[in-house]
Structure 1
């Protein structure tokens, strides 16, 4: 099934305008104000209920929302939901925390480093004791 622009499915520009406006946190009144004096909140509400939107109006809305016209024209919520759900269902969005090293090896290495440090400290203490004994004998 294709719409008049040979796109699969039926893409409702009105819904897309509403969705983008809501995602951006823009109220109907604010959009109406930006579109000009002959626009009102009610007229925006009616625009968001029409299946088709005039190209000139679509271009103005696109400019106000700072979204490319093509994004509004081609956004298909059902397709986006399908992509998102299939991404989660096939686990491609899941990050697995499988370390490439064995955590026990790291713990053992840290333990060995700790022992080596302790042995160096003992050796330095023994050398210091020898020096102190020599100093005391020299007095």
Structure 2
């Protein structure tokens, strides 16, 4: 049976949202701390208790209401809203990078350098400690 025949089949709605999020049952199971068989059972259930539904919604990154109100038609309408031809084909939305990627690269390099220096210092201290133990015998 499809979700069209059973519009309140929560398990199928969860399954569809999971698929749209490009998530496997195993990934959802890991996020919930359970196994894939439990997710399969959930997706085959017509109803789910609210506490469990809240956990699933959080793991999927959606609200409980989004799961309860999910419909294939709504998804299609949502994506069709991006392709209506009422305006120009390309509209600049003002999205731009708020940081300089080269600055981030330099920061990363400097952090790695500091970590390497700490590692070298720790190794020097370890060698000195072992030499003192050997001299003490």
TM-score relative to the length of structure 1: 0.49
Q: Which protein shows a greater Rg?
A: 1
TM-score relative to the length of structure 2: 0.49
